[in-house]
Amino acid sequence: MMEALEMVWQKVVALMTYDSSSPLIFSSGLFLFLFVGFLLLYRLLQRTTTARILYVVAFSLYFYYKSSGLYFLLLIVAATYDYMIGFSLYHTHNRTMRRLLVAMSVALNLGMLGYFKYTNFLIDISNQLFGEGFLQFQNIFLPVGISFFVFQSMSYTIDIYRRELRPLTSWLDYLFYLSYFPALLAGPIVRAKVFIPQIRRRPEVTREMLGGAVFLMLTGLFKKAVISDYIALNFVDRIFDEPLLYSGFECLMGLYGYALQIYCDFSGYSDMAIGLALMMGFHFPKNFDAPYQSATITEFWRRWHISLSSWLRDYLYISLGGNRKGKRRTYLNLLLTMLLGGLWHGAALRFVLWGALHGVALAVHKMWLEAVPWAKKDGTSMNPLSRLFGVVLTFHIVCLGWLVFRADSMQTAALLLHQIFTNFDTSLIPQIVEGYAFSMGLIALGYLLHFIPTRVDGWMRGLVSRAPMGVQVAMLVVVIWCVMQIKSADIQPFIYFQF
């Protein structure tokens, strides 16, 4: 009896203790178990608004603690100062003071983000300029999700400054908005004006919403835990670790595999986040819309990580002047926006180059539209042949960006390109496909599902949504079983947790 109690106690302690080697993520069995328990009590608290808000905030902070340890306190601090600044902004009419307050909010948020993400980057640059040992590197842990909740918090104060939003009158409500666990670690970046009206509204989950949530959970789990994790561990990582050991075809497939991996990983997270929120009666905007079906780079950025691209457009590109100050300034604004978007992903040259590539591509596309009067501004309105060419070209521009984004160094990227262009032996293709049969099959399946027409995707979603509850549960069980069959021994964090 004592041994049983001791085991139970150890389990409880483990649940309440942060373990950096085992963060709590959506695709883990522990989270799914905890969420079922959370949802049962959540349903009972639907009619009691304040108790429900307190309960969700407590679970969100616990979820963040299990992902980043004591850095959950940072989230509380950020929620406190931006709540106070937002309230002051709304009730201050002096223009200079309002500018000072919004600048204070931006400075505090970017200062916090800069310390955790860019301190060692700046130290490295200083040491290169003034000699090794000029400054000592710091042992800084990057809190998971800091880039996402900082951008959400900034959008809140900027919208109040622009008189597009009224501030919340309750600090608890703002903490709810900033810490809401489905979107906390890797987005979507949910705007305050979209989310805040839902906080105190009594949550209603219709049969259709629940079915849609189940579909999103199914697709998200499959994309992340089946496709992304498997091809990463068993194929993609090996290619990028030692490109010289592989043929040109293997390197090319490794690059195509990474393009699919990062899409399935990140869109899988977004699907699960949107699905979890939907089960609780909250609506999140769509974050991915089959981006590799894009026929232009501009269309790609309307489909990829929509919440970030729209944030950069509304709060950075437009603030820089957008397209209102002439052609040259427009091109410069596009380049600066994407350069800063690249830096947002991390303090490394590869992210800067990735942002520069996309900035130049966007500027060139805009130049093309201005130089060729008959060019279609909307990629979806192209004729079929032009669109096919555009999709292939855009996909390979994006893949070139992913190569720089993924490679540990520019040398690795150069070696991989060298293998593709100088060591491409077509006679080896059947042997390679046979040797990596399951990985190649998953890559093919992933792209096949990605290029399914929208109407077919909608039909599949409707089919799952209208299925009886027992069938939906059976589908979830099958997907979880598939995850358990092919998962590695270690939990594979989502790629965007590092950003």
Tokens standing for residue 84: 């106070």
The amino acid sitting at 59 is: F
Q: How far is CA 444 from CA 247, 381, 383, 436, 487, in A?
A: 19, 27, 26, 12, 19
Distance CA 57, CA 439 (A): 40
Three-state DSSP class for residue 241: helix
**For this structure, is 396 an active site residue?**
no
Tokens standing for residue 169: 């009158």
Of 401, 206, 183, 424, which Cα lies nearest the Cα of 308? 183
Using an 8 Å Cβ cutoff, are 461 and 208 in contact?
A: no
Q: Report whether the peptide linkage leading into residue 188 is cis, meaning its omega lies within 30 degrees of zero.
A: yes
From the list 91, 283, 345, 450, the catalytic residue is 345
First CA to last CA distance, the chain:
46
Distance CA 56, CA 180 (A): 7
**Helices marked H in 372-467:** 384-406, 410-422, 429-435, 437-450, 454-466
Distance CA 174, CA 185 (A): 17
Residue 2: CB atoms within 10 A of its CB come to 6
Three-state DSSP class for residue 95: helix
Catalytically active residues are: 345
